[in-house]
Amino acid sequence: MIAIIGGGICGLAIGWRLAQEGFSVTIVDKGKAGMEASWAAAGMLAPLIEAEHAEEMLLPLAIESRKRWPQFAAELENFTGINVDYRTEGTLQIALHRDDQEALEHRYSFFKKNNFEIEKLSGSQVKALQPHLSHNVTGGILSPEDHQVDNRLVVSALLKAFKKAGGILHENTEVDEICTNNGRVNGICMGGEKVVVEHLVLSAGAWSRNIPGIPKDARPPVRPLKGQMLALEMPSKMPLLDHVIWGPGNAIVSNIYLVPKSDGRLIIGATVEEMGYDTRITCGGLFELLRAGWEVLPSIYDLPVLSSWAGLRPASRDDAPILGPSGVDGLTIATGHHRNGILLAPITASEITAYITNQKVSPLIKPFQLNRFQKP
């Protein structure tokens, strides 16, 4: 039996793929599956627009996963009958001031130099595309292939797919300890009982380093990075946007994003805060989100607020995911997806499944192994 600790989008997608391959798979989640970072996310599939400075190493993996998303979404929808609202309008990053414009031009040159599909727009072209944006827009870059999906629907669909493929799910179940024998993982203890496993996948997001029993060198260096977000209700007859918009942020909102959903929600995110496991909503967080959101799209002023929440990104030491062997026999790692868990779910699922099946690390995930943090 293969056990997966963590029923977030990556754990569920890996579980679904492994079950499809005929393995007997159990997922154990300390709470309700899919209700942490996977639920808190905005569902952007935007490797180009979301690329951060010095993250070039991540781009090939992220772009390959983006390429796999349409097929992944279609397969999930066909298998479960759940529509995951995959939307293809694209993502638009805008500038509101001269400094943002310079940063935008710099990004554009980088993408162009590397032959990525990206289009530069003037302020008036941006306004023609999304007329409700601020009159202060000085320009934009459009990434037509950076799509989006409804992450909460994806989680519901994956839960159904995993179970339909024969997977077993234990929710509200803490793993008390991972058991090893002669340096090999051979079981997990939960509820006072030891369950024998042939293989274990650690995919517990921001909690991945805390599970007792993981040998010290195999502990993934992952910490929680808080993101506060909120949802507004767009007028049903006049959604204010159809593209995903990225705009300039401030001290705790490095970039503001506005993500229109087909059910009428307009999601605004997100703060980036080192607050441990604290998921409380703060006045400052909401204030900065609303202020930056309003500067980009002034008409949010009149919209009803539907909800607010905070999620914990599993951030590794270099912000890239940790995928593949752990150095301990029988233990595979799939965590540390930071800002990109939704985007990277298809590739994480297929490459981890391939690794467990044939014990070969694919060239795609080779740079993302735990051994990059381990001392030689």
User: Cβ(302)–Cβ(288) under 8 Å?
Assistant: no
CB of 206 to ligand GLY, least distance (A): 12
* Least separation in angstroms between CB 339 and ligand GLY: 3
Closest CA relative to residue 369, chosen from 333, 342, 345, 337? 333
What is the nearest approach in angstroms of ligand GLY to the Cβ of residue 254?
9
- Quote the CA–CA distance of 85 and 173 in Å, as a whole number: 31
Contact present, 359 and 367 (Cβ < 8 Å)? no
First to last CA, the chain: 32
Please state the closest distance from residue 293 (CB atom) to ligand GLY, in A. Answer: 13
**Which 206-235 positions form the footprint of ligand GLY (CB under 6 A)?**
227
Report d(CA 41, CA 336) in Å as an integer. 15
269 vs 336 by CB, closer to ligand GLY: 269
CB of 50 to ligand GLY, least distance (A): 6
Is position 152 an interface residue for ligand GLY (rule: CB under 6 A)? no
**Is the CB of 214 or the CB of 270 nearer to ligand GLY?**
270
Backbone dihedral angles phi then psi of residue 235, each to the nearest 5 degrees: -60, 130
Q: Tell me which residues in 25-64 interact with ligand GLY (CB under 6 A).
A: 42, 44, 50
- What x/- string results for residues 159 through 198 when contact with ligand GLY is judged by CB under 6 A? ----------------------------------------
Q: What is the largest CA-CA distance in the chain?
A: 66
The contact pattern for ligand GLY, residues 321-350, with x = CB under 6 A and - = no contact, is ------------------x-----------
x/- mask, ligand GLY, residues 98-137, rule CB under 6 A, reads: ----------------------------------------
Binding status of residue 269 toward ligand GLY by CB under 6 A: yes
147 is an interface residue for ligand GLY by CB under 6 A: no
Burial pattern 308-341, b for ≥16 Cβ within 10 A else e, equals: eebbbbbbbebbbbbbbbbebebbbbbbbbbbbb
Q: Considering CB under 6 A, how many residues would be counted as binding ligand GLY?
A: 8
User: Which one of residues 313, 316, 322, 347 is an interface residue with ligand GLY (CB under 6 A)?
Assistant: 313
Quick one: 140 or 269, whose CB is closer to ligand GLY? Answer: 269
CA-based torsion, 309, 314, 319, 320: positive or negative = negative
Helix (H, G, I), strand (E, B) or coil at 15: helix
Residue 331, classed as helix, strand or coil, is strand
What CA–CA distance (Å, rounded) separates 146 from 156?
23
62: left (phi over 0), alpha (psi -120 to 50) or beta: alpha
Nearer to ligand GLY, 42 or 95 (CB): 42
Q: Nearest to residue 7, comparing CAs of 43, 48, 35, 45?
A: 35
**Comparison of 8 and 167: residue with beta carbon closer to ligand GLY:** 8
Measure the CA–CA gap between 72 and 196, rounded to whole angstroms. 31
Question: Smaller CB distance to ligand GLY: residue 158 or 342?
Answer: 342
How far is CA 140 from each of CA 109, 134, 256, rounded to the nearest angstrom? 13, 12, 14
What's the full length of the chain, in residues? 376
Closer residue to ligand GLY (CB): 66 or 199: 66
DSSP code at position 48: T
Sequential DSSP letters for 246-263: EEE--SS-SEEEEEE-TT
Strands 168-170 and 25-28, sheet pairing: parallel
- Residue closer to ligand GLY by CB (options 42, 121) is 42
Closer residue to ligand GLY in complex, CB, 185/270: 270
Give the residue closest to ligand GLY by C-beta.
339
Query: Of the two residues 29 and 273, which places its CB atom closer to ligand GLY in the complex?
Result: 273
270 binds ligand GLY, rule: CB under 6 A: yes
> In angstroms, what is the minimal distance from the CB of 210 to ligand GLY?
21
List residues binding ligand GLY (CB under 6 A).
Answer: 42, 44, 50, 227, 269-270, 313, 339
